[in-house]
Structure 1
């Protein structure tokens, strides 16, 4: 066992002891019993084991920092018994060498303050998207430029789906050949944290079936991190829009990000202003 692993086990033991000591029997619906017979102010180890549905010996070894394996399900049961909040649960998982569960991006994006932040960025187009490029929230500037992404019932409300699946005649991407491989490489990087998760596997399978370009690029196994990128879009009403897309992490939404589009030139800025003052203009001149 490495020194890092030993240190983590020591910290895990101390953390569990401290959290066990603060939970009283009454808080978990147990009879308190004679206080004089209790050596700790909180729950006993055997009580935590009983409530969590694990063996007393196993829990004792866990709290002693012994090198034992702990599954996500078992640790989640211990966390519930010790009444840990989200930050404490994540800390427990990390100390045990597991990837902590993260809040659902879509649920976090429904918080009113998230929309207020996006609205405050207007006239800069901005949106909150998941690690799978699902568009979760957006402001008026974003809707003016990408109405097909926010209003359509034909395609998924997903930026990668729009780039890979929407026909060329209806696509808003001008530099698609540059950006699509990059977007898929970023998706591949995020996918490493979600391998085997049903929603992710369905999304990959659907995209593979719907887009030969996606299937080919996905098979290349390229990975990349998010970065500021020049993106060129076309809009039937105004022509080309050249913008820098800057992606930022949102505190409390670890699997989501905020993307803000900044005009690259005065002409693009004027065209965005025109689109925002004339809402509802179609991005293409035809329908299917």
Structure 2
């Protein structure tokens, strides 16, 4: 079941790792309890281990987890006791596999262990099929689902017709922030380009505050700074803004100017994933949205610069 709720706020940047240092003992205690609960739910017999008659507690023993994960018994014991020890990504990954953790539990494990190099759990996690049904049901309102880094995870047909240049990109480059800063200015969809891009970067900076030091985020920022001097300049300003409801004006080569209200919803079933819906802000836009239906969008149009307007695949 998918719960969708309005999200018009962003957690303050002060909740990042700097603030987390003060909660380190509590986090280690939570990690110890979490590991113990995951270990105790496993069935030794299912894992091919002898059950015997001398097991005083349910699940696996600590030494069995250590053996299956290929780590030292003392090291794992200290980890489960909440001691202050160093844990690498590779070792925690082995522990997660041994304890049969699902993606959400694996991410939780890394957060409790205060490991910045969290594997790409968010980006790879599949959305529930009900999310796509919601998107499709919103037609002709364009709508999409993105993660914290602005990767486009899902969309409806109207969104594809509004932003074909974005949805036609390969999956590893299908990112709204990347597209907005690397696409030619002559084909850019924003009428108020400077204002909209500045706010996009400020919104991204607020989300980035919760992922400082994570390789996937740091590499994305590094690559985008290298690809777009404009992004690098805005990034250096350290502007921060929340999401909120905002108005944007798009320029579409086939149906003209669109004045829309952009509303963002949190998709609670997948952490740090949000649904963005575009609703008309005036009567003309409301009429033009009807043309976003697949069977009525005019074809054969080009941008004013002469570049072709490629329909979505």
Bin of the TM-score, shorter chain as denominator length: 0.7 to 0.9
Partner of 2:215: 197
Structure 2 gaps of 5+ residues are: 1-20, 309-313
Alpha-carbon distance between aligned partners in 1 of 2:34 and 2:214, rounded to the nearest angstrom? 30
Partner of 2:188: 171
Shift of 1:116: 1.4
Check the 8 A contact 1:13/1:63 in 2, yes or no: yes
Check the 8 A contact 2:40/2:59 in 1, yes or no: yes
Cα distance change on mapping 1:67 and 1:279 into 2, 3 Å = same
Matched, 1:24 2:43: yes
Give per-residue Cα distances to partners, 1:153-182, cap 9 Å, x unaligned: 8xx543223432323321111011101011
Cα distance change on mapping 1:19 and 1:168 into 2, 3 Å = closer
**RCO (CA 8 Å, sep 6+): is it higher in 1 or 2?**
2
Matched, 1:223 2:240: yes
Number of aligned residues: 281
Alignment of 1:133-282 (within 5 A): 133-151=150-168, 157-192=174-209, 193=211, 195=213, 197=215, 201=219, 203-276=220-293, 278-279=296-297, 281=299, 282=301
Cα distance change on mapping 1:79 and 1:125 into 2, 3 Å = same
Matched, 1:43 2:63: no
Question: What SS class does the counterpart of residue 277 from structure 2 fall into?
Answer: strand
Cα distance change on mapping 1:214 and 1:84 into 2, 3 Å = closer
Give per-residue Cα distances to partners, 1:74-122, cap 9 Å, x unaligned: 333223222233344344444444566563435524x533321110111
Cα distance change on mapping 1:279 and 1:46 into 2, 3 Å = same
Structure with greater helix percent: 1
**TM-score normalised by length of structure 1:** 0.81
Cα distance change on mapping 1:122 and 1:191 into 2, 3 Å = same
Partner of 1:13: 32
Question: What SS class does the counterpart of residue 108 from structure 1 fall into?
Answer: coil
Alpha-carbon distance between aligned partners in 1 of 2:43 and 2:169, rounded to the nearest angstrom? 53
Alpha-carbon distance between aligned partners in 2 of 1:66 and 1:200, rounded to the nearest angstrom? 29
Give per-residue Cα distances to partners, 1:180-210, cap 9 Å, x unaligned: 0111222233334164525751x43443344
Pick which of 251-260 and 65-74 moved more.
65-74
Check the 8 A contact 1:128/1:259 in 2, yes or no: yes
Alpha-carbon distance between aligned partners in 2 of 1:161 and 1:102, rounded to the nearest angstrom? 18
Question: What SS class does the counterpart of residue 253 from structure 1 fall into?
Answer: coil
Check the 8 A contact 1:145/1:272 in 2, yes or no: no
Check the 8 A contact 2:70/2:94 in 1, yes or no: yes
Give per-residue Cα distances to partners, 1:233-259, cap 9 Å, x unaligned: 112333321111112222333243211
Structure 1 gaps of 5+ residues are: none
Cα distance change on mapping 1:64 and 1:215 into 2, 3 Å = closer
